[in-house]
Amino acid sequence: MELIQIVCFFSFSSSGLTAAKQWSMTVPKVVNQTLGEDAIMPCSFTTTYDSYQGDITVIWRIQCHYNGPLIFRCLSKDNPSESGQNCSKSVGRYSLFGNPRSNNISLRIQNVSLMDRETYFCRVELTNNADQYGTHTGTTLNIQVPQALESIYMRTLPSGEQFVTCEVKGTPPPTVTWINPEITSASLVSVQSDWARASSSIPANLTNTNYTCQIHGENGLQLLSIYYSRVTKQDCPVSLSLFVVFVILSGIFFIALVILAVICKKGSSKSLPPTQNLSFRNSEPQGKDEDRDEDIYENI
């Protein structure tokens, strides 16, 4: 009986020691970070060693824990002076936030963008090929976009119809309300929305109107306005009359230039002295040959 108790005691003790020296990795399921700020992806681990002095390789991937795209890798040596590698260098926007010697391999991502919305997996490898461990669940990075009213503008469809459009951003996108003109029918409002952006459009069927949209965002009330003035049929005769006056004045100016050019040309021709045509008599004595024709030049 005592022998059985001793065996059970050692079995329990050995199992407890084994449980205390198992590989483990602690990561959160989700990290939320604001667009444009730095994100920290926490990752800590435990090994089967009480005090490990060998090399530590840190690996971070996205999408898949084992063969997903590699975004960060570094080697931490017990004596950094041997190779100059201690995981302190950045790789693009990625750098190690933790210390591998303290069982912390957290990752820093600088200036997060919407493209950084991924699931991240950390992994640690020791010198022995059997000493490798990584998380299988990963951590999802959610990018939060502050709610804001971005722009208001006019747009014209190929059919000629015109609309006033307000664009907003945020996670989730805020709801747009039209306060001028007041829209009482929801069928007049066209809404397009995706993950972090949305737009609201209404027909621009009221001329000389100040169209205004607003949102109640995280930072309070925001609104934008645009004045819509479309050319009507009554304005067309005014524009046509101005065009006719411009054509007439241009014609008069052109005729005046032609007349002025003719007058200048006549004046310049009268100021020149008259030309005289002179002829000369040949002073060469006549030869004996009377049959030869001679040209006689006289003064005119």
Higher pLDDT, 244 or 55: 55
CA 263/CA 268 separation, integer angstroms: 9
Whether the pLDDT of residue 17 is over 90: the answer is no
* Burial (CB count <10 Å: 0-12, 13-18, 19+), residue 134: buried
What is the predicted pLDDT for the residue at 291? Answer: 47
26 with 44: CB under 8 angstroms? yes
Backbone angles phi, psi at 269, to 5 degrees: -75, -35
Report whether pLDDT(33) > 90.
yes
pLDDT tens sequence across 134-187: 999 999 999 999 999 999 999 999 998 999 999 999 999 999 999 988 876 777
User: pLDDT category, 258, cuts 50, 70, 90?
Assistant: confident
- Check pLDDT > 70 for residue 99: yes
Judged by average pLDDT, the poorest of 136-145, 205-214, 284-293 is 284-293
Q: Tell me what percent of the residues of the chain surpass a pLDDT of 70.
A: 75
The pLDDT score that the predictor gives to residue 271 is: 57
Strands 119-126 and 139-144 come out as: antiparallel
Say which residue, 299 or 44, is predicted with more confidence: 44
pLDDT value of position 85: 59
Instruction: Please check the confidence at residue 80 and state whether its pLDDT lies above 70.
Output: no
Q: Is the pLDDT of residue 198 over 90?
A: yes
Topology agreement, domain 20-144 and domain 148-232: yes
Lowest mean pLDDT, pick from 85-99, 173-187, 262-276: 262-276
Backbone angles phi, psi at 56, to 5 degrees: -130, 120
- Supply the CATH classification number for the domain 20-144: 2.60.40.10
Average pLDDT, the chain: 80
Residues contacting 104, CB < 8 A, separation 6+: 43, 44, 97, 98
Cis peptide preceding 285, ω within 30 of 0: no
What local confidence, expressed as pLDDT, does residue 21 receive? 67
Query: For 148-232, CATH number?
Result: 2.60.40.10
Average pLDDT over residues 265-275: 62
Q: In the chain, what are the domain boundaries?
A: 20-144, 148-232
Least confident stretch, 18-32, 172-186, 195-209: 18-32
pLDDT for residue 129 = 75
Q: CA 13 from chain center: how many Å?
A: 61
